[in-house]
Each structure stands twice: as C-alpha cells, then as structure tokens.
Structure 1
Amino acid sequence: MSGKKTAKLTREVYEKELLRLQTELVKLQEWVRAEGARLVVVFEGRDAAGKGSTIKRVTEYLNPRVARIAALPKPTERERTQWYFQRYVEHLPAGGEIVLFDRSWYNRAGVEHVMGFCTQQEHQLFLRQCPIFERMLVEDGILLRKYWFSVSDSEQQERFRRRLEDPLRRWKLSPMDLESITRWEAYSRAKDEMLVHTDITEAPWYIVESDDKRRARLNTIAHLLDSVPYHEVPPQVLELPQRPPSTGYERPPRDLQTYVPDHTAGL
C-alpha cells in the first residue's frame, strides 16, 4: 500500500461521480449486447477488501440477463475430480453477456494453497496452466479484466470488527475469514507468487488500493470503462401505446383474494 494519504471523498462528490459512471456502465452493457461481445471481470483480494461492494455498484443498474455474478460455493465431491478450471468454464459468458467473478479460479492460488485445501503439486500445476487458460480465453475473443483489491492489515481488522458487531453484516464473517488474520504473511507470499506467474501481457492484473472503499469503487469502475472500446448504442425507439377502450371487464371482488397486511399502517 502507498504511504501517501489522500483526503476521503465527500458523499456528495462520491455519489455524483458514481451515478455518472453507472450511466456509462449501462452504455457499456448495451454495446456488449449489440456487438455480441463477451466480457469477464475477475474480482480478487483479501477478505473484506471491498470486492463485493464494488460488484454491487457495478451491477446496480444493469440488466441481470446481460450482466450476472458468478460466486461459486466450494466444489462438490464430483467437481473435485474434474479438471480444475472445468466448473468455471460453464459460467463464462456467451455473446452479449458480462460475467463478474466474485472470486474465481484464483481460489487455488490463494485460500486453497494457504489453507492446505490443495496439494503442492496441484498448486504448481495451477500456476503453470492458468496463463495458458487465460490466453485461450483472450485468443477466443473474450475481454478479460482482473482486479486485485489490496487492503492493509489494520483496515481489514477494523472491517472484521465492524462486521462482528453488526447483525446485518455478521453473515459476511466466517471462521475462515478470521483465520486469515493469523495467516496474513502466508497470504501475502501466495499473492506475490500468483502475480509472478499470472500477470501476463494478454491478461494483466490491475491492483486497486482499497483502504478507502469509495475511491476503490470509483477507480475500478472508471478503469474498467476506459479499458473497453465501447461506444454509445442508439436506444431502440419506443412509444407508449394508447390504452384501448374497455370491453366490459370487471375485477373480481377483493374479498375473494388474500392481500398482504398493511404493515405500514402502524408506523
């Protein structure tokens, strides 16, 4: 992390720029759909680094049929016997789609390696195969972007503490997250080794400094937009039709249907 301190963005500045960037994301979406492009965005980083909140802002106004999130659970017993990349391949986009990976095949370079969920041989095989796999994706025309969210140890610890105390966000905290505190240096070494092998010309890593979540979100979205050669696609011309005259339809009596109680009446 850089030692340079930057003033935090005010909420007003942040929200104004976020809305502008989200408007551009909608234009990007329409370009992807019109051109039949395939866009894959990988979000990686330590626990509580801000990946999920950034993905949420990216997708907030996008069509879920065009832009979807792939957040895979731990592999099943059957998936453990497959080629490692196999279960990720089925989530890759078809033409006109965007897929955002909330963690990805890089699980093997990080948590699986550090926590001993894969063998040393499997880890080394991943580091050899991953650049080949990603070159194949790019050669086939997929637009691949990879972001690593970098958070300091003190900021991560503070975010864990806030999650622990907040009943609405406590579900985000798992025993695995807490164990990452005691394995900080092991994760750092694993990340460094991962970058050495997988920061390739065809699919480079982009590091996002994320101690300031607002800046991290804006910087990531702005970079993503700048990295794709999209242009505004003229929207389809739509006109609201005139409602036709009534043909005598009458709504059934309300007491024949079950309505949701008016909770708001007691507020």
Structure 2
Amino acid sequence: MTKNYNFTKNELALLNSNNALRLMLGNQEDINPERVLRYVRYEYQVEKNQVELIKLQNWVTENQKRVCVIFEGRDAAGKGGAIRRITHHLNPRFYKVHALPKPSEEEKGQWYFQRYVSHLPNPGEIIFFDRSWYNRAVVEPVNGFCTEDEYQRFMNEVNLFESMITNDGIILIKLYFSISKEEQSRRFEDIRTNPLKRWKLTPVDEKAQELWDVYTEYKEKMFKCTDTKKNPWVIIEANKKTKARLEAMEYLLNKVPYKQ
C-alpha cells in the first residue's frame, strides 16, 4: 500500500535539495521521505550553527579570549562525534582537541591538575577536552585507578581550581552527555560488529555495563559537589546523537558572548 504524504511547500523544497535527492537515490529500495526530511533539516541546522561557530571563533581570536569546553559522559555517549561536528569548519590554527592518554609515571607523581593546566587555552584559542580532569571524579575511582585519598583530595580541590582559571578570564563550559544503559549497550554492540569502529573498545568500555550502577553513584556525587553557580554542569540528553550535537552547539553559541 502506497503511503500518501502531505508536505508543505518548504518541506518539498528541502526534499528537492541535492542532499535529500542524494540520500533517496542511494537507498532506492526503502525510500522514506519523512526520514530524509528529518535528516536534511538536521544537516541544515548543523550548517547554520557551524557558520555561527566560525563567527564565535573569530571573536575569540580577535579579542584574545580563552575558551575551554569539556565533554564528559559515559563511554559511547557521543562526545567525540559532537566535538567533530563543532570543530568541522573551524580554523585549526586557533583550536585544539585534547583526549589525553593515561598519565605517565612522571605525571603520576605530579599535582593532579598539572597535566591539564599545560593544555589550557592560550589567548585567542579554544580548547576542547574529550574527557578532562573529571576522570578522577568518576572513571578512576570506579575502575580502581586512584586511591580513596586521591579521589577525596580531587573533590575538595576541583571547585577551587575551576574558580582560579575562570577568575583569570578563561570561559569554562562543562557538558555532560547522558545516555541510558540500553542505548550504551546498543552502541557497544554496533562498535563490536563494525570492523571500522572496533578499535574504539577498551577494557574500561567492556566493564561499563557491569559497573553501570557504580558509575551512576559517582556521577551523582560529581554533580552534587561540582555543579556550582559559577561553573555549572550542562546535561545533554544524548540517546539521539543528532539532537545532542545540536544542543551542544547551541549551548556553546549562547554561552560565549561573541555577538557583542
């Protein structure tokens, strides 16, 4: 049975765009105009936001501002994908993405925040952390990578540390990508069965479902202690990747006063 569609004039114009026609021609056996329309709308809004992000970056460089955006969330929450969308058209000379590996033996003997301080933004620069110092609030204690004393010391110091860097002029934005246990399981399975993605799975990822409740306990402690008026957490509901990416972009655009 053929389904009747009742598209508006504007919707028909979007369906006649090059992107929409390419999607429909590439999947002729199961053409779903409604799904294509949703995707084209999403791509249109992404591109619109990316234009504004270029303006934001120009404001940062011209005014020698410093912006630090941290992305936190459970494994497979979509942090990396969101960062790629945000930075896709930015000038690579004036931003960096840091996904720091586990600390070296030398770094283990340093003040915990030291390795992150060296990666904070210079004047005119935006820094994106794909996981940040908040590893010590959740991932490390859950997996036994730090002692209880190290964890408690971090929780006692982190708000002061963030106050110090924001008092010095850094614009700090803290995003947390939140997904359900079922969605994380589905994404892990997709990664396991895709040879192009399988490299992403780590031993920590493999235990994430088993330790779900423990992660939740430490996550809630983190929010309770570090969601401050000056440096609040922004929770991005990330079960739908497209929606989460747009929300992250739009919060960034609203938070940084680049239109002044």
Sort the TM-score into its range (normalised by shorter chain). 0.7 to 0.9
1:227 equivalent to 2:255? Answer yes
RMSD, matched Cα:
1.3
- Report the Cα distance in structure 1 between the residues aligned to 2:103 and 2:91, rounded to whole angstroms: 28
Q: SS of the counterpart of 2:70?
A: strand
* Aligned residue in 2 for 1:51: 79
* Aligned residue in 1 for 2:103: 75
Q: SS of the counterpart of 2:209?
A: helix
Q: Pick the aligned partner of 2:53 from 3, 18, 25.
A: 25
- For residues 212-256 of structure 1, give each alpha carbon's deviation from its aligned partner in whole angstroms, at most 9, with x where no partner exists: 000000011001101111028xxxxxxxxxxxxxxxxxxxxxxxx
Summarize the alignment of residues 215-254 of structure 1 with structure 2, pairs less than 5 Å apart.
Answer: 215-231=243-259
- Report the Cα distance in structure 2 between the residues aligned to 1:172 and 1:90, rounded to whole angstroms: 26
Q: SS of the counterpart of 1:148?
A: strand
Q: SS of the counterpart of 1:117?
A: coil
Q: SS of the counterpart of 1:162?
A: helix
* Aligned residue in 1 for 2:142: 114
* Aligned residue in 2 for 1:36: 64
Q: Indicate the structure whose relative CO is greater, using CA pairs within 8 Å and at least 6 residues apart.
A: 1
Q: Pick the aligned partner of 1:145 from 173, 178, 188.
A: 173
1:61 equivalent to 2:89? Answer yes
What's the CA shift for 1:45?
0.2
* Aligned residue in 1 for 2:209: 181
1:82 partner amino acid:
Q
What's the CA shift for 1:146?
0.1
Between Structure 1 and Structure 2, which shows a larger proportion of helix residues? Answer: 2
What's the CA shift for 1:178?
1.2
- Report the Cα distance in structure 2 between the residues aligned to 1:175 and 1:36, rounded to whole angstroms: 41
* Aligned residue in 2 for 1:167: 195
* Aligned residue in 2 for 1:210: 238
- For residues 152-188 of structure 1, give each alpha carbon's deviation from its aligned partner in whole angstroms, at most 9, with x where no partner exists: 0000000000000001111111121010110000000
Any runs of at least 4 consecutive aligned residues in structure 1 with deviations exceeding 6 A, and if so which?
Answer: none
Can you give the 5+ residue segments of structure 2 that lack an aligned partner in the other structure?
1-33
What's the CA shift for 1:10?
1.3
Q: SS of the counterpart of 1:192?
A: helix
* Aligned residue in 2 for 1:98: 126
* Aligned residue in 2 for 1:192: 220
Q: SS of the counterpart of 1:25?
A: helix
- Report the Cα distance in structure 2 between the residues aligned to 1:176 and 1:115, rounded to whole angstroms: 8
1:88 partner amino acid:
Y
- Report the Cα distance in structure 1 between the residues aligned to 2:259 and 2:222, rounded to whole angstroms: 34
1:100 partner amino acid:
F
- For residues 72-123 of structure 1, give each alpha carbon's deviation from its aligned partner in whole angstroms, at most 9, with x where no partner exists: 0000000000000000000001100000000000000111110111010110
- Report the Cα distance in structure 1 between the residues aligned to 2:46 and 2:94, rounded to whole angstroms: 20
> Based on CA coordinates, which of the two structures has the bigger radius of gyration?
1
Q: SS of the counterpart of 1:58?
A: helix
Q: If the length of structure 2 is used for normalisation, what is the TM-score?
A: 0.85
1:106 partner amino acid:
Y
1:131 equivalent to 2:131? Answer no
- Report the Cα distance in structure 2 between the residues aligned to 1:113 and 1:22, rounded to whole angstroms: 37
Can you give the 5+ residue segments of structure 1 that lack an aligned partner in the other structure?
1-6, 233-267
* Aligned residue in 1 for 2:25: none
